[in-house]
Amino acid sequence: MKIIVDAMGGDKAPEEVVKGAVSAANEFGIEICLVGRQEDVIRCLENEGISLPYDRIEIINADEVVTMEDDPSTATRIKKDSSMAVALKLLSQGAGDAVISAGSTGALLTGATLTVKRIRGIRRAALAPVLPNGGKGVMLIDCGANVECTPEYLLQFAYMGSFYAKKIMGCKNPRVTLLNVGTEDTKGADLQKQTYDLLRKAGEAGRINFVGNAEASDLLSGNIDVMVTDGFSGNILLKGIEGSVKFFLGKIAGILKGSRKAKMAALMIRGALSDFKVAMDVSEVGGTALLGISKPVIKAHGSSDARAIRSAIKQAIKFIEAGVIREIEENIEFMKLSTKNSLDKYP
C-alpha cells in the first residue's frame, strides 16, 4: 500500500507533514510518497534521522505550492507543478492508493474533482468530517463543499455517509438524520421537506436507517451517527462548534488556574480531564474524507501537526481497506433519481 502525501500543504509543512508521514510509514509498515520541493523534503527527512534511499519513502519533486491566497477553483490547473496538483495526478494514474493534503480545502476538492474525478453517477463530492463525541464519532455531511444543494445531492450524501459510518466508524446500523429547524417532518424549507421524503422512502426500503429530522443541538448527543445537510448550513454549524469548544475549554482552564483550591481540584481530576481532551481531540480523527471522489482523498486540517498527519494516514488506510468506494459504486442505481430503480423522481 502506498499513500501519497502533499508534503507542502498546511501551516506546519513540510516539517510536521514529513515527521508524521515517517511515523506512519514505520508504524503501519506502508510506503509513503512525499510530493514537494525535494531539497526541503530531504532536509526534513535528515532531521528525522533518515537518509536516502529508504525503502518506505519516495520523493517526487514539485516546485510550486498552492497557497491560501490562490483561487481554489483554478489553483491546481494554473499551478500544475504544485505539490497538490502532482499528488492528485499521481493518484489518478494509479501511482498510489490515496492522497493526504493539509492544503487549501477548496483547491483540493476542485483538483480532486477535475483530476481524480467523481464516482460515476455521483452528482457532487462532499466534505464529510467525523466529529468527536466521546463515542464512535458523528459524521457531518456536507460541511462546505456544496453551498447550494438539491434533494438528490442530499440523498446521495446520506447513502455515502451511511456506508462510511458502517465500514469505517464501526456503526452496525448507522442512524442517519437530516439537519432541520425542528424534528417534525413538516419543518424546514422546500429543500428539507423534499429531502425528508426521499430519505424516508430510502429508510422504508431498508437501504439506510433514517431516523428523521434533527436539530443542531443533537449533533454531539451520541444519538445519531450521520447528519445530512447542505454545505452552507453544515459549515456554519461546524464553525460554531469549533468556536464554542475553544471558548469553553479556555474558560475551564482559566477556572482551574484561578485559586489554590481550583488548582488542587484540577490535580484530582487530571486523569478525567486528560481522557476528555483525547476524546474531543480532532487530531485523533485525522482529517476529512472527500466522499464521492473515485479514489480516497483525505483533507487534513490546515494546522495539522505530525500526530494529526499520522492519524490522517491511518484514516486513509482504513478508507482503502474498507471498500467504501466500491460500496457506493455498487449502490449507485438507488442513489440517482433518474433511474427506474431509484426512488420517485424529484420534480
The DSSP result for 97-165, as a single string, is SEEEE-S-HHHHHHHIIIII-BPTT-S--EEE-EE--SSS-EEEE-SSS-SS--HHHHHHHHHHHHHHH
Position 133 scores a pLDDT of 80
**Residues in a beta bridge with 36:** 61
Give residue 265's pLDDT band: very low, low, confident or very high (50, 70, 90).
confident
- Tens of pLDDT, residues 167-217: 999 999 999 999 999 999 899 999 999 999 999 999 999 999 999 999 999
Q: How far apart are CA 130 and CA 139, in angstroms?
A: 4
Give residue 53's pLDDT band: very low, low, confident or very high (50, 70, 90).
confident
The answer, as to whether pTM is greater than 0.85, is yes
Parallel, antiparallel or unpaired: strands 287-291 and 126-128:
antiparallel
**Residues in a beta bridge with 61:** 36
C-alpha to C-alpha distances, 279 to 28, 32, 185, 282, nearest whole angstrom = 22, 28, 33, 8
Position 282 scores a pLDDT of 53
* Top mean-pLDDT range of 44-53, 67-76, 118-127: 118-127
Position 344 scores a pLDDT of 43
Contacts of 206 (CB under 8 A, 6+ apart): none
Position 152 scores a pLDDT of 97
Position 273 scores a pLDDT of 67
CB contact at 8 A, 233 and 140: no
**Whole-number CA gyration radius for the chain:** 21
Domains of the chain: 1-122+292-324 (3.40.718.10), 128-283 (3.40.718.10)
22 Rama class: left (phi>0) / alpha (psi -120 to 50) / beta: alpha
* Nearest to 178, CA basis, from 164, 163, 160, 157: 157
Residue 86 CA, distance from chain mean position = 21
Give residue 268's pLDDT band: very low, low, confident or very high (50, 70, 90).
confident
Please determine, for residue 145, whether its predicted confidence score (pLDDT) is greater than 50: yes
Q: How far apart are CA 313 and CA 304, in angstroms?
A: 12
Position 343 scores a pLDDT of 45
* Grid cell at residue 86: 502532482
Position 254 scores a pLDDT of 87
**Residue 8, SS3?**
coil
Position 346 scores a pLDDT of 39
Mean of the pLDDT values across residues 269-280? 66
Q: How far apart are CA 272 and CA 291, in angstroms?
A: 35
Question: What value does the mean pLDDT of the chain take?
Answer: 91
Q: How far apart are CA 217 and CA 220, in angstroms?
A: 7
Q: How far apart are CA 288 and CA 316, in angstroms?
A: 10
Contacts of 203 (CB under 8 A, 6+ apart): 176, 209, 210, 211
**Residue 229, SS3?**
coil
Q: How far apart are CA 95 and CA 281, in angstroms?
A: 32
As a whole number of angstroms, the longest Cα–Cα distance in the chain is: 70
Please determine, for residue 163, whether its predicted confidence score (pLDDT) is greater than 50: yes
